Structure 1
Amino acid sequence: MATYTPMIQQYLQVKADYQDAFLFFRLGDFYEMFFDDAISASQELEITLTSREGGGEERIPMCGVPYHSAAQYIERLIERGYKVAICEQTEDPKQAKGVVKREVVQLITPGTMMEGKGLNEKENNFIAVISQFDGEIYGFVYCDLSTGEMKGTLLKGDFDIVLNELALSGAREVVLDNEFDANWQTKIRERTGATISFESDTEFKSVYSRLLTNSPNEELSTTAARLLNYLYRTQKRNLDHLQALDSYELQQFMKIDYFSKRNLELTETIRSKAKKGSLLWLLDETKTAMGGRLLKQWIDRPLLQESEIVRRQTLVETFITNYFERQDIREKLKEVYDLERLAGRVAFGNVNARDLVQLKRSLLQVPFIQTAIAGMNTKEAHAIMERLDPCEEIVDMLERSLSENPPLSLKDGNLIQDGYNEQLDQYRDASRNGKTWIAQLEREEREKTGIKSLKVGYNRVFGYYIEVTKANLHLLKEGQYERKQTLTNAERFITPELKEKEALILQAEEKSVDLEYELFTEIREYVKEFIPRLQALAKTISEIDVLQCFATISEERHYVKPNFSSERTMLIKDGRHPVVEKVMNAQEYVPNDCYLDQNRELLLITGPNMSGKSTYMRQVALTAILAQIGCFVPASEATLPIFDQVFTRIGAADDLIAGQSTFMVEMLEANHAIANATSDSLILFDEIGRGTSTYDGMSLAQAIIEYIHDKIGAKTLFSTHYHELTVLEEELNHLKNVHVSAIEQNGKVVFLHKIKEGAADKSYGIHVAQLANLPSELISRANEILQSFEQQQEYRENEQGQGEKQKAESVKEISQLSFFEEQEQDKKVNHQLTTKEKQIVNKIKNIDILDMTPMQAMNILYELHKKVKN
């Protein structure tokens, strides 16, 4: 350190406290980076890497960005998961003795962004904290700093529960204790991609009392304190907009684990990770950013409390019935600004005058929304209207104080209206009169000198001046003006009277700008007092926005209001997959019924690929979720139980990053459902067991079906290509076979997409391959192979029916199918058996066929087949 210059020493001292962040070090009009920061930043931001002398043996790598355009560079780093520490000059360089004092004024991280393109207006930007306590107890709290929302819960069990909750929150940053398990940190990164930060301070400070009044226990308070200490330490400013902790329990909402949420494509599609094509995309007819965020939260956490679901449904029905009032509300909501994030910026101190004008315009819409809701004339509508607070005091203040079209900058003046402040009016009058005097001076001097091109101008260096072109200098009298500056084609002059007026004008303008900024700061502080009321208003407007959105979608797409059954009956008539129906546009979607009750708990679904089994299963789950968030559902009639959980295993998704195969993922997701499902759950299993050999897969599929049927009793839709499993309908009382119908026309399969009772008679696999335009030669060969398999199956069935006498007869010659070459297999049966062959014969003799289940017989046959083949 001693060899470096004082400035570089200062840089290294500051950097020592922010090793995991890029340090933007303010030097004049630039933020500079040095050493490794400079090398990395030049690559990430694609800016020029230079170097400078710093007192050491070698030149120091260096790069920088202008301070006025730093925001865009900071956003790019944050989007890639980095942190940025902003180090500002904290004293006037002109008064500094030695190196100018500098200190970090804010640490910007992925979870603490307050504004910019990195914030999606219809998505929360959560930062989460996880604390571990004795006995597999975890505190989990997450907060959106931009809106002030803070939620938390205690989780009990293995760490997968915590991972699931973290993934559902979508947090971009996770704060942990320094001693947190390294393996779990790795799991967090792999599952969520979140940036990890550390905070060991869990001290409860008095300023947190207001925020933790709803905390039910010490563990949750400690966890929240860790997060709050991290936020106050990194942001170094007022956080008055933070809302009281909203504690919840997982049992309050329908549980949808991370895998099921992904499989059902609730908020993003599996393939592209995009919003388009998801349930959120279908439903999002919200008109405000706040409503869009609340809609996503409702989809993530469907309700279990029937009374609250019915309240939402009633309001949706009210909005549908009152079409014109709903349209008026939709128009007014378009004019409502993002009040939640505005309140955050007010508290943070980075709100500008245009933001406050938008706030005023937003508040002016509230009385119109109140009037429209009052016209609906239901008790539910009246209750929500009563919660709307127009905040007239803010409107009155902003109407009197701020200009209607203020500039973006707070240091350019013209923020405040005339008449708001007497002193400001005096400064403005002096400034305006002075400029009038300047214009009058220019006219008088032109007349005196006869120089029509003479002008009175201004620049920041010389102030006001009189400019005369060189061609007209001879018209001036000796000593008429005092020479100030010589240009190529002109001379600039001043007069004592002009300098006197200049002092008055500039002083008035400077004082005016300074006073305007002081007045704006006072206005901002006044608005800050109303933050709790603004946040409460934002919640109510958000709810109105989502409910009108449900009404609009339900009316346009012909959804119906579902009823709820206390007897666990599910009856969906003419159900549709809401997203697929929308994507198909004008094409006719084939609706299907779904009926389950206490005597019909499990549907075994068979049918060919591409026939719509997965779509049918998904639409049942989406119907249940839509109903429990309070929306109407895509059907002509619907009665549903209230499901406590939804589990799905649909589609093959290899978890290659975690080193898990398709089959392992299948088994893990199946185990998660089986271990956690109750009789009030909904389980969707699509072709479980296909990731392994036929016999293993079939055995597992049957065992899973039997376990769900006998031990759990959950409503279950289980699709399969193992047609052998359809015999289970005769053995399991609550299982019913259904199939997706298809017909064969002119040698090609036609999918009817209609669910019918009973098992499918064919799988049509080769027909599907034909639809995919596989080569005709390949299709013909596949048909030949299929016929051979069917003949062998027929032979085995006939032989089994002939009894023990037939088995003792001479072995008949059977041609063996080869996939690679066709050769005549004309070998005689060799009665001179080898030792291994004798072992196989003895094993067959010792089999007690009459005391075996079909599945056991199939497994033994499979083992023998492998031995003979070897």
Structure 2
Amino acid sequence: MSDSDVLPTSEKATVEPFPSNYVGRTPLLKQYFTTRSERPGVILLMRVGDFFEAYGEDAEIIAHELQIALTGRDDGGVRVPMAGVPYHSVERYIARLIARGHRVALMDQVEDPRFAKGLVKRKVTRVVTPGTVLEDAMLDSRSNNYLVAAVIGDPVAGVGVVDVSTGEFLTTEIEGERRKERLLEEIARLEPAEILVPEGVDAELIEAIKATCTGSVTVMPRSEGGQRSTSTDSRQLLLAHFQTQSLRGFGCEEYTAGIDACALILRYLRQTQMGALAHIRSLATYSTEEFMTLDSAARRHLELLAPMGDGGRQRTLLGVLDETLTPMGGRLLKRWIEEPLLEVGRIQRRQEAVEELVRDPIRRGDLRDLLRGMGDIERLVSRAAAGLANARDLVALRNALLRLPNIATVLAGARSEKLRDLASRLACPLDIVERIGRAIQDDPPAGLREGGLIRPGYHAELDKLRAVSADAKGYIANLEATERERTGIASLKVGYNAVFGYYIEVTKANLSKVPSNYLRKQTTVNAERYITPELKEYEALVLGAEEKAIELEYELFLGVRERVGEAAPEVLAVARAVAELDVLASFAETAVRHRYVRPEVHEGDSIHILGGRHPVIERIGLGGDYIPNDCHLDEENRLLIITGPNMSGKSSYLRQTALIVLLAQIGSFVPADSASIGIVDRIFTRVGAHDELASGQSTFMVEMSETANILNNATARSLVILDEIGRGTSTYDGLSIAWAVAEYLVQIGCKTLFATHYHHLNELANRYPVVKNFRVAVREQGEHIIWLRKLVPGGTDKSYGIQVARMAGVPLEVVERAKEILKSLEKGSAGVTRDIVDSGQQVPERKQKLQLTLFEPERHPILEELEALDITTMTPMEALMKIEAWRRQLKQGR
């Protein structure tokens, strides 16, 4: 299907802007615009024949967004803009509209046009929004599609989370003075497609949410039916939906803002996706305290789900770790990566399951064979519960569920507690598997009103109708041969069209042989068409039986789908067990293929890694074989100062340590010879340089903001990795900041890896026993250096920047001049480190200008002004305006 399959038009006329208050004159358009006025803020698509059409402003919008023809329809002397798309490919077009930030209401026909008296009845059957999508064509099979509601209460903030496509419904509450900031962090972690906020929330929060994630924000009115809703109303809404007397069974009886957030979601789904409510039959609570906190900076710097540069998914932790074989497993793996556990027992139960599958390749292979190609049980049953599944969906669901007994057999006799538990959760209602198999054809059509859905033998009345139709068709099929023999007309044909039904066609050359019982029905250029009373009688049998059979098949299918939808809670529980098995088997497969080992995870406060490797760099093979390195962080080694030249591997070492810790806490094996990991509550990162010009923040401002976040929130249980703090400003400023940050981290007591070019910081090891110096070893060969990428004890007093410049192809005269300048600068900076150590608290004011040899001796007034500027508070535009003012001043001075 191409975009040329849109609504045909004989004109691409330019249509004048259309009034928004148009009400329609003809019955069809009056029906459209009346409904449109009841649905502000959405694009309305109305089913008309084989197309979904839009009129007026909506037509203009979809014509522009979808790049399809804009035509028009006459409406009592007014030319109304019109555009449309074929009904059988509407999902594809809706997906494009959703991606562009629109919401789409579908107004479908609710009666058969053949039997309609007057205007066909239509109504809005659903409103599709970014957070309420159910169709596979609009979803990433390996990512959840979350709809999140956020409510800021006092003293707690509430979060409601639902994935309509899987039926998952969660809530949590966040307390404390930082609840707003932590709420934003949680929204960023969830990466929702759509966020609901209650009416009246301050605009600052909405803007903060928009800055936090890419999902659309929808403001929900606090009133319903003209009445302002309260927390009591929210609780009653949840009780009515779940048909319970309390919320204690869901673990949220004492919740306040969390209940308000969940009610916000239910009200929204009731307005947009009434059918989706059917399979949301349970609510689970979770706590952000259960998981290691990973802020957006950590997720970005560690490249957990998306690379910082080019390269695609294979350059992320998810890409190299993902050996899952089912969509459910793929989604769960992504969640586990973002939710490292803090409870040793839960981690160890996962590890035990992975270890058993590592040590038993036959069990692992059999399990993965059964998982391979399995349908998406979660989304298939969710579509059934929402009334959107077709016959092929039910067949795919049945085929997936048929594998469960074999999976349970493979897990029989498993020793690990986790595998035994998952095996016990694989039982599902067998009657739905049996009913689908008995009722639905193995290869049914995609449409539901074409016939061919139901197996013979499932329903006696349907079989009878099919037999009548088949007998009549058999008579008609034989009629052509019978009449040719009876009349002697060798060219006689029996045909069919939708207007006249069945007919007998005789060429004009043979009209003299036409029997007297033939009744002329139509004349064509070369022939006459006839009917007979007997032919019409059989035609009535065929068409009547077929029509009744198709309608009966549809009703029977709806009955099967409804039963499947009723079993959704049980089937979803099975799907989640399958997802866990898939992820654990994926961990085992990765461990075997890439020599990962089981880490020891404990409650202590130390990290010991021998032969650690970066999982992503090792896999993609940058720079040849990956050189492993050790890492020891404990009470005596709290902050490691790591020096070495550019491209030597400092950043990779920092990241690999953080990734190994994260892998250990999600229950995976790790790329190392051995590892002992004490539980880490947070991983903080400050790596690389980037600006955020859209928010007016320079590279250095972003660096300092991320550093401030670390210093304000790190605890003694945190792991901090810092790369090149202070490089975004002048050398003395940057060195001062780096020194002070390091001292502050020592006071916090967090485990820290601090990579820097400021080799002056090696002096910290003489001042603080918990600070240790390491360097990345290099070998010098004349003017060249060889990176050994091996971490060794001790600091360095060289950065090798000029050698790197030479290797990068910088002109030789520039390199030689740089050497001369470096010698001068090194003389000028002598004694700086001693001044820092002697001060005890902070870096003293500069005693001589670092770049004196590069400028004229007399100070220019602009230099004084430049030195006084606070660049951390300037926007890029202000900086450009200041530079332009200096330029004019210099020009006037000349």
TM-score by length of 2: 0.87
Please give the alpha-carbon distance, in whole angstroms, between the structure 1 residues aligned to 2:87 and 2:526: 36
Q: CA deviation at 1:869?
A: 4.4
Q: CA deviation at 1:223?
A: 1.4
CA contact (8 A) 2:382 2:565 kept: no
Counterpart residue number, 2:162: 143
CA RMSD, Structure 1 to Structure 2 (Å)? 2.6
Matched, 1:107 2:127: yes
Matched, 1:548 2:535: no
Matched, 1:859 2:878: no
Instruction: Give CA deviations for 1:208-233 in whole Å, capped at 9, x if unaligned.
Output: 23595412413211210111101111
Q: CA deviation at 1:741?
A: 1.1
CA contact (8 A) 2:349 2:416 kept: no
CA contact (8 A) 1:367 1:390 kept: no
CA contact (8 A) 1:374 1:381 kept: no
Please give the alpha-carbon distance, in whole angstroms, between the structure 1 residues aligned to 2:829 and 2:556: 91
Counterpart residue number, 1:749: 785
Matches within 5 A, 1:160-309: 160-199=181-220, 200-201=222-223, 202=229, 203=233, 204-205=236-237, 206-209=239-242, 213-214=249-250, 215-216=252-253, 217-237=255-275, 239-272=277-310, 274-309=312-347
2:616 is matched with which residue: 562, 579, 597? Answer: 579
Please give the alpha-carbon distance, in whole angstroms, between the structure 1 residues aligned to 2:537 and 2:607: 89
Matched, 1:125 2:125: no
Counterpart residue number, 2:512: 474
Secondary structure of the 2:694 match is: coil
1:590 is matched with which residue: 627, 643, 652? Answer: 627
Counterpart residue number, 1:822: none
Q: CA deviation at 1:442?
A: 2.1
Matched, 1:730 2:766: yes
For 1:526, give the aligned amino acid. R
For 2:400, give the aligned amino acid. S
1:63 is matched with which residue: 66, 73, 83? Answer: 83
Counterpart residue number, 2:720: 683
Counterpart residue number, 1:606: 643
Counterpart residue number, 2:479: 441
Q: CA deviation at 1:766?
A: 0.8
Matches within 5 A, 1:74-93: 74-90=94-110
Matched, 1:781 2:817: yes
Matches within 5 A, 1:490-529: 490-529=527-566
Secondary structure of the 2:695 match is: coil
Counterpart residue number, 2:5: none
Q: In 2 relative to 1, CA 695–21 (structure 1 residues): closer, same or farther, beyond 3 Å?
A: same
Q: In 2 relative to 1, CA 237–718 (structure 1 residues): closer, same or farther, beyond 3 Å?
A: same
Counterpart residue number, 2:422: 384
Counterpart residue number, 1:396: 434
Q: In 2 relative to 1, CA 472–60 (structure 1 residues): closer, same or farther, beyond 3 Å?
A: closer
Matched, 1:668 2:705: yes
Instruction: Give CA deviations for 1:431-475 in whole Å, capped at 9, x if unaligned.
Output: 112122222322221111222332222222211212222333333
Instruction: Give CA deviations for 1:224-269 in whole Å, capped at 9, x if unaligned.
Output: 0111101111123352211422211111111111111111011111
Instruction: List runs of 5+ in structure 2 lacking aligned partners.
Output: 1-20, 224-228, 861-894
CA contact (8 A) 2:313 2:319 kept: yes
Mean CA deviation greater in 7-16 or 126-135: 7-16
Q: CA deviation at 1:762?
A: 1.2
Q: CA deviation at 1:142?
A: 1.4
Instruction: Give CA deviations for 1:272-319 in whole Å, capped at 9, x if unaligned.
Output: 494331101111110000000000110110101101100000000011
Matches within 5 A, 1:529-540: 529-540=566-577
Instruction: Give CA deviations for 1:35-66 in whole Å, capped at 9, x if unaligned.
Output: 3323322211111223455569x744333333
Instruction: Give CA deviations for 1:621-641 in whole Å, capped at 9, x if unaligned.
Output: 000000000000000010111
Secondary structure of the 2:684 match is: strand
Counterpart residue number, 2:361: 323
Secondary structure of the 1:605 match is: strand
For 1:193, give the aligned amino acid. T
Q: CA deviation at 1:556?
A: 0.5
Counterpart residue number, 2:800: 764
Q: In 2 relative to 1, CA 685–421 (structure 1 residues): closer, same or farther, beyond 3 Å?
A: same
Please give the alpha-carbon distance, in whole angstroms, between the structure 1 residues aligned to 2:840 and 2:261: 55
Counterpart residue number, 2:888: none
Counterpart residue number, 1:569: 606
Mean CA deviation greater in 74-83 or 16-25: 16-25
Please give the alpha-carbon distance, in whole angstroms, between the structure 2 residues aligned to 1:198 and 1:369: 45
CA contact (8 A) 2:91 2:138 kept: no
Instruction: Give CA deviations for 1:474-525 in whole Å, capped at 9, x if unaligned.
Output: 3334x24111122222222111111111111221111111111111111112
Please give the alpha-carbon distance, in whole angstroms, between the structure 1 residues aligned to 2:354 and 2:820: 58
CA contact (8 A) 1:363 1:391 kept: no
Secondary structure of the 2:658 match is: helix
Mean CA deviation greater in 380-389 or 307-316: 380-389
For 1:185, give the aligned amino acid. I
Q: Which has the larger radius of gyration?
A: 1
Instruction: List runs of 5+ in structure 1 lacking aligned partners.
Output: 802-847
Counterpart residue number, 1:658: 695
Secondary structure of the 1:237 match is: helix
Secondary structure of the 2:707 match is: helix
Counterpart residue number, 1:694: 731
Q: In 2 relative to 1, CA 383–102 (structure 1 residues): closer, same or farther, beyond 3 Å?
A: closer
CA contact (8 A) 1:680 1:714 kept: yes
Q: CA deviation at 1:586?
A: 9.5
CA contact (8 A) 1:39 1:61 kept: yes
For 1:745, give the aligned amino acid. Q
TM-score by length of 1: 0.89
Percent of residue pairs bearing the same amino acid type: 43
Secondary structure of the 1:326 match is: helix
1:20 is matched with which residue: 41, 63, 68? Answer: 41
CA contact (8 A) 2:682 2:718 kept: yes
Secondary structure of the 2:803 match is: helix
Please give the alpha-carbon distance, in whole angstroms, between the structure 2 residues aligned to 1:760 and 1:518: 79
Q: In 2 relative to 1, CA 389–617 (structure 1 residues): closer, same or farther, beyond 3 Å?
A: same
Please give the alpha-carbon distance, in whole angstroms, between the structure 2 residues aligned to 1:97 and 1:458: 27
Secondary structure of the 1:65 match is: strand
Secondary structure of the 1:240 match is: helix
Q: In 2 relative to 1, CA 732–555 (structure 1 residues): closer, same or farther, beyond 3 Å?
A: same
Please give the alpha-carbon distance, in whole angstroms, between the structure 1 residues aligned to 2:837 and 2:84: 84
2:751 is matched with which residue: 704, 709, 715? Answer: 715
Secondary structure of the 2:520 match is: strand
CA contact (8 A) 1:606 1:740 kept: yes
Please give the alpha-carbon distance, in whole angstroms, between the structure 2 residues aligned to 1:586 and 1:324: 35
Q: CA deviation at 1:772?
A: 1.4
Please give the alpha-carbon distance, in whole angstroms, between the structure 1 residues aligned to 2:666 and 2:838: 52
Instruction: Give CA deviations for 1:650-692 in whole Å, capped at 9, x if unaligned.
Output: 1112112211111111111111111111111101111111111
For 2:242, give the aligned amino acid. S
Secondary structure of the 1:239 match is: helix
Q: In 2 relative to 1, CA 227–849 (structure 1 residues): closer, same or farther, beyond 3 Å?
A: closer
For 1:476, give the aligned amino acid. V
CA contact (8 A) 1:364 1:390 kept: no
Counterpart residue number, 1:830: none
Q: CA deviation at 1:10?
A: 4.8
Mean CA deviation greater in 520-529 or 26-35: 26-35
CA contact (8 A) 2:508 2:526 kept: yes
Q: In 2 relative to 1, CA 432–856 (structure 1 residues): closer, same or farther, beyond 3 Å?
A: closer
Q: CA deviation at 1:787?
A: 2.9
